[in-house]
Amino acid sequence: MSAVSVEIPHCILSAIISLADSLGMHITSTSWDQHFRVALVASRKPFHHATGRTFNDLLQNLVLLCNQCETTSDWILGAPLEELPVVEQIPILHRLDHSIHTTRLWAINETKRLANHWEVDKFFTITHCDIVNYLAQLSILKLNDHTADIERGGFGAHVQVCINMRAKLASEVTTNHDTLKVTQKVCIDTLASVCRMISLANLQMIFPDNQFYRRSSFNGPEKPSSYVSTYLGAISNRASIVYTTILDAILSPVLATTEDHHISNMILKIMCECWLDHIYMNKMKFSQSGAYQLLTDFASVTTWLVNCPIITQHMRKVMLKNEVLRRCEGVGRLLLRSPGEQLKMNEIKANGSVLSKIVHL
């Protein structure tokens, strides 16, 4: 069957084109209204895994609509500006810019709330799943650069205004996209801040007084001090889980929900640094027996890492190399040094040569 070509009068063709443009604008507006309303309502409720998907659907819909405005029936890529539906693309870009900004704010605020309750499983769902999906959607966004055409000019007044508006909105979308790329780091920094706050607060409440480590003898110096496990209990009440060692309350949930050794090592480092900071800020004094006891207490961290059943061999190997473990051990051994004893230290120069120094304690 041969195709039949029909001549369409110009006045009717213009009306059909206008109707198609109006329908396109209507679909753009109503589809965004629907997706944004669903995402906004979901974001006001307690965290649910479907919430992140609603924002993902919102961005996916807008990216699809925007990409359709970058092509024509004759051009798949590189269509000239005068042939692109710029008027239809402007509201899409405006909605996309607003949606990326809203999505980023939701991710930051929700992860902050989850971090304060130490609900790290839900926290990492947002940082390592949802945000990654958002960036994947935006990575397929097509916004061709028409700077050369704009500088060349020659467009009508109305077209020129629309082109300039498109360029401005495209720049704002790109800026918000770049900001979203660093959102994961912002959320992780919040988690680190909360971890430090919780650790210092609980140490302040349950750490023994200044006389504890000044005693001349300890019962069973081969065992960690009782406050080590008490420290755990204060934190575990937050997580509503029963734990048995100092690191279980904070590290176990992290290790169970992410295989990112950078984050696990960060949490371990923060906890040990808080331990050292608390000792320093309270100007704790140590007898020789107390220094040995402190070494035993610090060693319980390494023992926990070795015996923890949920750590993979690779993760265990990486975490046992954490510099903060050597720093804690170094503090304990420094406390065992006799006054006036010489301590040899090495300083690395900028050119890589080593300069030996002698420090008197």
Kindly tell me the burial class for residue 18, based on how many C-beta atoms sit within 10 Å of its own C-beta (0-12, 13-18, 19 or more). exposed
Average pLDDT in the 58-69 region? 90
- What average pLDDT does the chain have? 80
Q: What whole-number percentage of the chain has pLDDT above 70?
A: 75
Measured in residues, the chain has a length of 361
Read off the pLDDT of residues 251-272 as tens digits, 9 standing for 90 and up: 888 988 999 999 999 999 999 9
Asked if residues 232 and 248 have their Cβ atoms less than 8 Å apart, the reply is yes
Q: Whole-prediction pTM value?
A: 0.81
pLDDT, residue 247, reads 64
Count of Cβ atoms closer than 10 Å to residue 14 Cβ: 11
Q: What integer pLDDT is reported at residue 27 of this predicted model?
A: 74
Q: Does the pLDDT at position 346 exceed 50?
A: no
Mean pLDDT for the stretch of residues 77-92: 74
pLDDT number for residue 269: 94
Confidence category of residue 126, pLDDT binned at 50, 70, 90? very high
- Residue 206 is predicted with a pLDDT of 82
Q: What is the pLDDT of residues 142-173, one digit of tens each?
A: 887 766 666 666 666 777 788 888 889 999 99
The answer for residues whose C-beta is within 8 angstroms of residue 256's C-beta and 6 or more apart is: 121, 310
Quick check: 337 and 343 in contact, CB under 8 A? yes
- Per-residue pLDDT band for 360 (boundaries 50, 70, 90) equals very low
Domain boundaries, the chain: 17-194, 207-339
Range name among 66-80, 196-210, 263-277, 279-293 with the lowest pLDDT average: 66-80
For residues 205-210, average pLDDT = 85
Decide if pLDDT at 316 tops 60. yes
Q: Tell me the C-alpha distance between 180 and 242, whole Å.
A: 37
What per-residue confidence (pLDDT) applies to 73? 58
Sign of the dihedral through C-alpha 26, 32, 33, 34: positive
DSSP code, position 128: I
Average pLDDT over residues 67-86: 69
Q: What are the CA-CA distances from residue 137 to residues 60, 174, 219, 243 (Å)? A: 6, 13, 60, 40
CA 320/CA 308 separation, integer angstroms = 12
Residue 259, Cβ neighbours under 10 Å: how many? 11
Q: Give the residue-averaged pLDDT of 276-297.
A: 88
What is the structure's pLDDT at 95?
93
Instruction: Place 243 in a pLDDT band, splitting at 50, 70 and 90.
Output: very low
Could you tell me the CA-to-CA distances from 337 to 33, 200, 291, 331, 343 in Å, in that order?
70, 28, 10, 10, 9
Q: Please say if the pLDDT value at position 213 is more than 80.
A: yes
| CA separation for the pair 235, 331 (Å, rounded) | 25
Q: In angstroms, rounded to a whole number, what is the distance separating the alpha carbons of residues 39 and 54?
A: 5
Residue 217 has pLDDT above 70, yes or no: yes
pLDDT computed for residue 270 by the predictor: 94
Question: Above 50 in pLDDT, residue 219?
Answer: yes
- Count the neighbouring beta carbons within 10 Å of the beta carbon of residue 50: 10
The pLDDT score that the predictor gives to residue 59 is 95
- For the cut 80, the answer to whether the pLDDT of residue 357 exceeds it is no
- What integer pLDDT is reported at residue 78 of this predicted model? 59
The strand pairing partners of 357, in sequence order, are: 345
- pLDDT in the model for residue 241: 40
